Amino acid sequence: MRKGMLEYCIMLLLCDKPYYTSDIIEELEKANLIVVEGTLYPLLSRLRKEGLLDYEWQESPYGPPRKYYKLTDRGKEVLSALNDSWNSLAGTVEKIRNIEK
């Protein structure tokens, strides 16, 4: 479950703008989702192979160029479907939580 949620959270981050890997980790930590590089890099690589992410090189004032990840058009479509699934699941869980016991 955590793996699927991690993919979803990363895709949510990347839906608006490209992110450098350390920025992804930082944003996830702000949301109390701790992820190490050893987990993140293979996940980003797999999502790229699936056509959901791509990357672009950007110059860095701090050293060599950096790889910034972004959602592809296909990734945006998949994210939209994941959003629908999440909303449905969250609604179902909330109904069950609110059943009088």
- What does the domain layout of the chain look like in residue ranges? 2-97
Query: What pTM did the predictor assign?
Result: 0.86
Nearest to 89 by CA among 78, 101, 97: 97
Q: Would you give per-residue pLDDT tens digits along the chain (101 residues)?
A: 666 789 999 999 999 999 999 999 999 999 999 898 899 999 999 999 999 999 999 998 888 999 999 999 999 999 999 999 999 999 999 999 898 76
The CATH architecture that domain 2-97 belongs to is: Orthogonal Bundle (1.10)
